[in-house]
A and B are shown apart, each in its own frame.
Chain A
Amino acid sequence: MCGIAGLIHRGKSSNVGSELQGMLQALKHRGEDSTGYALYGDTDGKNFIMRFKVGENVGEGSSSVMEDVSVYDERKKVVDQTLAEMGAKVVKEERTLPYSLRYEIDYNTKDLLDFSQRIESIPGVEILSMGKSLEVIKDLGNAKMVCDRYSLDKVVGTHAIGHARMATESGVDIKSAHPFWGYPFSDVSVVHNGQLTNYWNNRRVLENKGMRFMSECDSELIAVYLAEKMRDGATLEEGMKESLTGLDGVFTYFVATKDSLGMAKDTMAAKPLVLYESDDLVAMGSEEIAIRSVLPQEIDTYDPFDGEVKVWQI
């Protein structure tokens, strides 16, 4: 059991960091092994924002190991050197935690595949997100703990999705935490509640097509699956509709891009989702109490039906 939540403000920005924290904290009983945020903040859109990690926060069942901070420092140096070699200029640098970094990068490219492959070829380095608006922040603990650790409560933006995880399919660590970046597409992120039963079959096919997986978490498949569909020219909504038959198992997932947010529910409707929709705001979560954290007044909500796909624009 995991909990997912998302919201999109239409026509305005809001304090999405604080709002999503409230929604995910309301779902903490669904799992607090790790919590992740995909926040689409207000930016000038000039520079890429790269969130990446140079080490792990290791919990139960993880195959990762704790390392000395000096190892992280060495990896960071190699990342800096690689960026310089590619002509990417680091405009702003933040190191929230010894293993977690945020770079604003002046880099003129539309193809992030080569860029990402070179960065992630450095052992122990993983890009959590890359985009001009998207920032994926994920770590161990419940929503409030992660929000406080990374000071997310003041992030202003248009939309966000998040995940409260109870680890079942893989270890408790950052690499298995949601959201997953839709590698190598700028500003695409995914969260998922459920279990995919054709994970390995799909993974083998996608890896043969050159797609990359960083974890053994089945949910990562959705991000890679959609990225591959979009690489082949499908729109986000088309890719999501194809996923209803291409992915086997039970699932409800959210996917967000720079200017949209979508949801898909499997054909057995086995995983919960409650939805609130108005002209100004769409809010959704695994349980109504998540929505109530941002809309305490009496509202009309509903459960999307089986096999339903919806996409909203900001």
Chain B
Amino acid sequence: MANLKTVSKKSKAQSMGMHTEVLTGRTQQKFFNPDEAENFYYFGTYDVDFNKRTELDVKDMTAPEANKEIDNLMSQGYGTIVIKNPQGKHSLGVGILNKLNLIFEGSLGYFGMGSCDGPIVRINGRVGWSCAENLMAGKVVIEKNAGSCFGAAIRGGDLICKGSVGARTGIDMKGGTIIIGGDAGAFTGFMMQRGRIIILGDVGINLGDSMYDGTIFVGGEIGSYGSDAVDAELTSSDQDWLKRKLKVAEIGENFDVSKMKKIVAGKKLWNYDNLEPTEKKGAI
């Protein structure tokens, strides 16, 4: 193997065996250009107008039908879509890679708003397991409670639950911020790699178990610490950031952040230091 410290980016990837296939024609590989950041869009997304508003009643629709109709409305330029009667259906609002103002008047089932990048979402109800899994960017606000695996593997964006959440919140998260107004269940922050979790209430057992990196702030009682989760000093910068974040999240504005506990990885289990794509964006 070539010396990885001296080879170019292209040959480094190839020498590590990541690009062994022979590509022909136009490459699909994209490298981030900061000049394009504001205008970046995915193939198949739409130019929408936030002032163009419509309602969609999904009571008698299946989840694929509802998601297809949301896509259809975006293609017509609607930038604000109000979903009526979601009635706990699974997988609503998944895969939206568009700027969009989406409002659910009711509750979602499992996997709601999964794999999204960019939309601003307000859910005036509860969400089931794995809400906003793999969120890349955007903001999702839940007015009531959330199920387990809330914000699993998110890479960016803000995920806010004003009520309480189940177990394994932020499992495997790689960036972004999760804010919980109430309590959180067991194994919160399990194997998290980056990002921040804020819990204003109590949290269950095994907090931050096997976390690689990232930060967890807790306002209430902690059931127990997980493996390699340790206390850290809450700095004035942390407090300023918490105040700003809670204000933007419209949650716990009068909360005394100076009494919060800060939990980080002891880093005794792993050595882990690879930047995520969204963090590379910021580093450039």
Contact = CB atoms under 8 A, between A and B. Distances in A.
14 contacts: A269-B185, A269-B186, A269-B204, A272-B128, A287-B88, A298-B106, A298-B107, A300-B126, A300-B144, A302-B163, A303-B185, A305-B167, A305-B204, A306-B204
Contacts of A101: none
A230 to B, nearest CB: 28
Contacts of B125: 298
A292 interface: yes
B215 interface: no
Query: Chain A interface residue count: which class?
Result: 20 to 34
Interface residues of B, number: 30
A288 B109 contact: yes
Interface in A285-314: 287-289, 291-292, 296, 298-303, 305-307
Nearest to A308: B185
B89 interface: yes
Contact of A303 (B87, B105, B147): B147
B134 interface: no
A299 B109 CA distance: 13
Interface string B103-125: 00111011000000000000001
A223 to B, nearest CB: 26
B162 interface: no
A267 interface: yes
Contacts of B107: 288, 298-299, 301
Given A288-B109, A289-B90, A267 B145 contact: no
B58 interface: no
Contacts of B166: 269, 303, 305
Contacts of B46: none
A274 interface: yes
A291 B163 contact: no
B164 A274 contact: no
A270 B167 CA distance: 8
Contacts of A301: 107, 126, 145
A274 B106 contact: no
Residues of A contacting B: mostly: loop
B89 A289 contact: yes
Contacts of B144: 300
Interface string A195-239: 000000000000000000000000000000000000000000000
B217 interface: no
Contacts of B167: 268-270, 305-306
A270 B126 CA distance: 19
B227 to A, nearest CB: 14
A296 B84 CA distance: 13
Interface in B148-171: 148, 163-168
Nearest to A272: B129
Contacts of A296: 87
A81 to B, nearest CB: 51
Contact of A289 (B109, B126, B186): B109
A303 B168 CA distance: 12
B187 interface: yes
Contacts of A289: 87-90, 109
Contacts of A268: 167, 186-187
